[in-house]
Amino acid sequence: MKASPSQRFIGAWREVGALPLTRVGPAPLQVAWLNDALGERAVGLGVAGEGEGRVDWADGGAPPVEPPGPWFGGWAFDEARGWPGFPAERWVLPALLVWEAGGRTFAAAFGVEGEARAPLIAGLERVSEASVSAPSDAKVSAASSREAWTRLVGDALAAIDGGLVQKIVLARELLVAAARPFDERTVLEALGAAQRGCHVFAFRGLDDSVFLGATPELLVDLRAQRLRTEALAGSAAPGQEAALLASAKDLAEHQFVVDALEARLRPFVHAVDRPARPSVRALANVVHLHTPMQATLRAPTDARLLARALHPTPAVCGTPTDAARSWLRAHERFARGWYTGVVAARGSDKFTAFVALRSSLLRKQEAIVFAGAGIVRGSSAEAEWEETERKARAMMNGLGVNTHG
């Protein structure tokens, strides 16, 4: 169902018994939005509407804590390189949304205003716990070759040396196969347990494929007029924090992102508040240079317009943006789709968007895992290959691939 800005939806809610959100059923998950740091944990089933539209609460009024969203969606890294089942941009209002807040669990059913409310109430009555499959016995069945990667990095460095760009972010894809279809609930639970500090997400495509991951990178969080974003670029193996902070190559790569974010925010905000130097953010498989940023908007602004002004950052595309993206269209031999795109939740007075990293596209018993690395002057194909291997490991483990043997 497509929605227009003038279309109105209605929601009915109730408090329900506690159950793991990844196991909310009985229908398949349409979206998952799991972020402990923000205190936002929700899953959605089915689709009540698509596009946009106002959502009001039925007779009982709003729940004591409003849910994330209730609109969820995002867009591709480059609309010229899309995936079947995933439009260049898509927003959905789930038919059923279940979320946690303050130690309590709530459920809301949504429908078009003016339609009978009995189906909404019936939807709330059907909230149950779905079964979850055991992890798949999966293995890597195909991957881009190291030789091809070395040639691609060499071509990127030649473009940098020739003055076409200052940075290009290259990506790889790895194909994982399993004996039976992947269960996105199982993968989400594995990611949530292993990737603390990351935003765990899932979106079901029109073709029933599922894009999911555990991304560390916030693009924008806008609450009223207050905005947060972050630069996350420059990587190393765990235990190499001191070397990362001293690396001229990584600091330069990180500064590209800081400078770009500040420049793109300038028309919208009074001033950007950030530390003078990056710190290190440690994740399970990799450590990153990290610069958090805060600002206050000059005037009310469409959050999606603001997010599009920031995306794609040099952390996922390169700089200058247009030249880097054109280079990638000519040289990167696969469709990124929503990988390095944006996944987001939007409500009446808040909008949160993440860059879709450390992710995979599940298609029944196959999964495509994505990993990337930023190429700047001083990069080496060998070091950047190892970086993509580290980044892919989180998703591989979530899919049940043994990365230690």
- Domain with 162 in it: what CATH number? 3.60.120.10
Number of folded domains that form the chain: 1
Look at residue 203 and tell me if it is in a domain: no
**Residue in 217, 230, 262, 387 annotated catalytic:** 217
Task: Check residue 403 and give its pLDDT.
Answer: 66
Look at residue 15 and tell me if it is in a domain: no
What is the C-alpha to C-alpha distance for residues 182 and 37, in angstroms, rounded to an integer?
27
79 catalytically annotated: no
Look at residue 220 and tell me if it is in a domain: no
What is the C-alpha to C-alpha distance for residues 24 and 22, in angstroms, rounded to an integer?
6
What is the C-alpha to C-alpha distance for residues 353 and 221, in angstroms, rounded to an integer?
6
Q: 3-class DSSP state for residue 292?
A: strand
Look at residue 197 and tell me if it is in a domain: no
Q: Which of 402, 363, 405 has its CA nearest to residue 175?
A: 363
Look at residue 129 and tell me if it is in a domain: no
Task: Check residue 280 and give its pLDDT.
Answer: 97
Task: Check residue 324 and give its pLDDT.
Answer: 97
Amino acid at 228: R
What's the domain range around 157?
A: 138-183+227-399
Q: What is the end-to-end Cα distance of the chain in Å, rounded?
A: 47
Task: Check residue 4 and give its pLDDT.
Answer: 58
Neighbour-count burial of 19, counting CB atoms closer than 10 A to its CB (0-12 exposed, 13-18 middle, 19+ buried): middle
Task: Check residue 86 and give its pLDDT.
Answer: 98
- Dihedral angle sign, alpha carbons of residues 267, 268, 269, 271: negative
Q: φ, ψ for residue 308 (rounded to 5)?
A: -70, -30
Look at residue 43 and tell me if it is in a domain: no
Residue stretches of the chain with pLDDT short of 50: 1, 405
Task: Check residue 120 and give its pLDDT.
Answer: 84
| Tokens coding 374 | 């930023």
Continuous segment of H or E residues that includes residue 174 = strand 167-178
Task: Check residue 125 and give its pLDDT.
Answer: 86
**Residue in 66, 100, 167, 173 annotated catalytic:** 167
Q: φ, ψ for residue 86 (rounded to 5)?
A: -125, 100
| Tokens coding 174 | 């790895």
Contact assessment for residue 326 and residue 362, using Cβ atoms and an 8 Å cutoff = no
Contact assessment for residue 234 and residue 251, using Cβ atoms and an 8 Å cutoff = yes
Q: Say which residue the tokens 């790569």 belong to.
A: 253
Strands 287-297 and 138-143: unpaired
Contact assessment for residue 93 and residue 333, using Cβ atoms and an 8 Å cutoff = no
What is the C-alpha to C-alpha distance for residues 80 and 68, in angstroms, rounded to an integer?
30
What is the C-alpha to C-alpha distance for residues 346 and 352, in angstroms, rounded to an integer?
6
| Tokens coding 239 | 């235990």
Beta bridge partners, 346, equal 71, 351
Look at residue 201 and tell me if it is in a domain: no
Task: Check residue 405 and give its pLDDT.
Answer: 44
167 catalytically annotated: yes
What is the C-alpha to C-alpha distance for residues 29 and 46, in angstroms, rounded to an integer?
7
| Tokens coding 346 | 């939007």
Task: Check residue 279 and give its pLDDT.
Answer: 97
For 118, left (φ over 0), alpha (ψ -120 to 50), or beta?
A: alpha
Task: Check residue 5 and give its pLDDT.
Answer: 61
What is the C-alpha to C-alpha distance for residues 324 and 291, in angstroms, rounded to an integer?
23
**Confidence (pTM):** 0.95
Q: What angle do CA 131, 133, 137 make, to 5 degrees?
A: 180
Look at residue 251 and tell me if it is in a domain: yes
| Tokens coding 175 | 């194909």
Q: Which of 145, 214, 210, 150 has its CA nearest to residue 368?
A: 210
| Tokens coding 361 | 């596209």
Amino acid at 24: V
What is the C-alpha to C-alpha distance for residues 199 and 29, in angstroms, rounded to an integer?
17
